[in-house]
A = this chain, B = another copy of it.
Amino acid sequence: MSDINKEYLLALRSDVEQKHDEALVQRFDSMHPADIAEVFNHLNAEEVGYLFKLIDDKERAADMLVELDEDVREMLMAQLTNREIVEEVLAYIESDDAADVVGELPEARAEEVLAQLKDEDQEELINLLSFSEGTAGALMGTELVAVQVNWSVAQAVREMRSQAEEVDRVHSIYVVNDAGQLKGRLSIRKLLFAASSARTSIEDLYDSEEIRSVKTSDPSEEVVQIMKKYDLVALPVVDEHQRLLGRITIDDVVDLMEEEAEKDYQLASGLSEDVESSDSVWAQTRARLPWLLIGLGGGLAGAYIIGVFDIEHFPALALFIPLIAAMGGNVGVQSAAIVVQGLASQSIGEDNIGARLVKELSVALVNAVICAAVIMIASLALDYQVNLSLTVSLALFAVIVFAALFGTFVPLILNRFNIDPALATGPFITTANDIIGLIIYFAIGMALL
């Protein structure tokens, strides 16, 4: 469904206005929930509310709601009664999605909804909601298939049949002991081929090699690293006593990876919030203005510095201000980006920071020598004064080395204080290096001219 164009939406809206309910029911009848969500994301609150009730299959409707953009889902949830949320949404979706949906509600509303749940569902959801964002607990769902190590295959298949009714997609069959502690995984393949011989026990069949799991409090970055590294489609979550509590599925991790990548990209590009081209003018302004104001502050500082150094008497120095400012910014951003990626992939750690800094300094020196030589030759060839050329060349050398070190240190320091190092990329580094570059340039210029 990448063909949601103007015509499609016009036709849909005209059906809504004229209340062609039958045509609308049919339209959504054979569509995948993710496709319906894509259509709904283009509509306004009233249309979304009206059409939601027309989706015949309640499970499909609930799955669709999970796939909606967050702002559209909020619009829709605001139009549902507590009872509808409980019976037509939460009843059909997985526990991790249910926790997300309830977590998005205004607090008072969330409590009302929780109060209407059956005791055991309520307890489960409150438990899931208690995990802080950014931990494995907040990513986990409780739907899983688990068998006990001392069961026979026949018993396991019987038990699994009832468990599997609640589980949409069986990623793995986990094996636990009497105390509920995770012992291993049972290959579906093995179970399938053993199913005929009813006397085999799970003990003989399951894979007891070290099974990878995370604790509820483990950071989500670790979940991503583990699932990526070991190519897992599901990762079990245990409590501090190794008891199996739930599992995290790869689709949630894929979404998380994408969000993280977008956030880093946005920070590097000077956007302070997650923003899309379809967002309102106000939302876009809010995401862009903070960095622009920082840039303005930097520009005013630059004007002050140039004034202090008495540009009126050395107007020729003005010629290369843009070059110095731009190069400081460019080098700083490159260095910071390499550090940010290294921290994210854990290839930079406590033990090798020293070696990394030495290497960064070497790279900076090589780049600085090459750039300084190029600008010296170019500047003389273009008939600028020798002293001016020398000033620019020396200043450029110093600025490149300084900017590289600054671009390397700032994200490392932020990371040490548990601040997202990606904050250091983009406009922050550019602005800081602009100012420092100017000071270096004018100081050298004053000395030489």
Q: What is A's interface to B at a CB cutoff of 8 Å?
A: 2, 5-6, 30, 32, 34, 38, 157, 160-161, 164, 170-171, 188-189, 191-193, 195-196, 210, 225, 227-231, 233, 250-251, 253-255, 257-258, 261-262, 264-266, 268-271, 275-278, 281, 284-285, 288-289, 291-293, 295-296, 298-300, 302-304, 306-307, 311-312, 315-327, 329-331, 333-334, 336-339, 341-342, 345-349, 351, 356, 359-360, 362-363, 366-367, 370-371, 374-375, 378-379, 382, 384, 400, 425-427, 430-431, 434-435, 438
Q: Which residue of B lies closest to A38 (CB)?
A: B229
- Which residues of B lie under 8 Å from residue A337 when comparing CB positions? 265-266, 268-271
Please, which residues of chain B bring their CB within 8 A of the CB of A325?
321-322, 325-326
- Expressed in whole angstroms, the Cα–Cα distance for A6 and B354 within the complex equals 12
**Cα distance A230–B37 in the bound complex, in angstroms:** 11
Minimum CB distance partner of A350 in chain B: B5
CB distance from A255 to the nearest CB of B (A): 8
Q: Which residues of B contact A253 (CB under 8 A)?
A: 254
Distance to closest chain B CB from A289 (angstroms): 6
Residues of B within 8 A of A318 (CB): 306, 311, 315, 317-318, 321
**When chains A and B are docked, how far (Å) is the Cα of A109 from the Cα of B34?**
46
- Contact present for A347 and B271 (CB under 8 Å): no
Dominant SS among interface residues on chain A: helix
**Closest 3 interchain pairs by CB?**
A299-B323, A269-B337, A302-B322
Cα distance, A89 to B92, chains bound together (Å): 46
Report the Cα distance A425→B170, complex, angstroms: 43
- Docked Cα-Cα span, A317 to B321, in Å, equals 12
B341 & A262 in contact (Cβ 8 Å cutoff): yes
Q: Once bound together, how far apart are the Cα atoms of A317 and B2, in whole Å?
A: 51
What are 7 A-B contacts with C-beta separation under 8 Å?
Answer: A233-B233, A261-B261, A270-B330, A285-B370, A292-B330, A306-B322, A326-B430
Chain B: CB-nearest residue to A275: B338
Closest CB in chain B relative to A157 CB, distance in Å: 7
Cross-chain contact of A302 among B304, B323, B426 (Cβ < 8 A): B323
| Complex contact B334–A300 (CB within 8 A) | no
Q: Of B250, B292, B336, which contacts A233 at CB under 8 A?
A: B250
**Among candidates B192, B251, B257, B435, residue contacting A160 with C-beta atoms closer than 8 Å:** B192
Distance A330 CA – B258 CA, assembled complex (angstroms): 24
Which residues of chain B are within 8 angstroms of A374 by Cβ–Cβ distance? 293, 296
Least CB distance from A195 to B in Å reads: 5
**Given A189-B164, A367-B288, A427-B330, A298 contacting B322 (CB threshold 8 A):** yes
Most buried by B among A255, A291, A292: A292
Cα of A318 to Cα of B370 in the assembled complex, Å: 28
Among B255, B303, B362, the residue within 8 A (CB) of A323 is B303
A277-B360 contact, Cβ under 8 Å, with A318-B321, A326-B325: yes
CA–CA, A95 and B224, complex, Å: 26
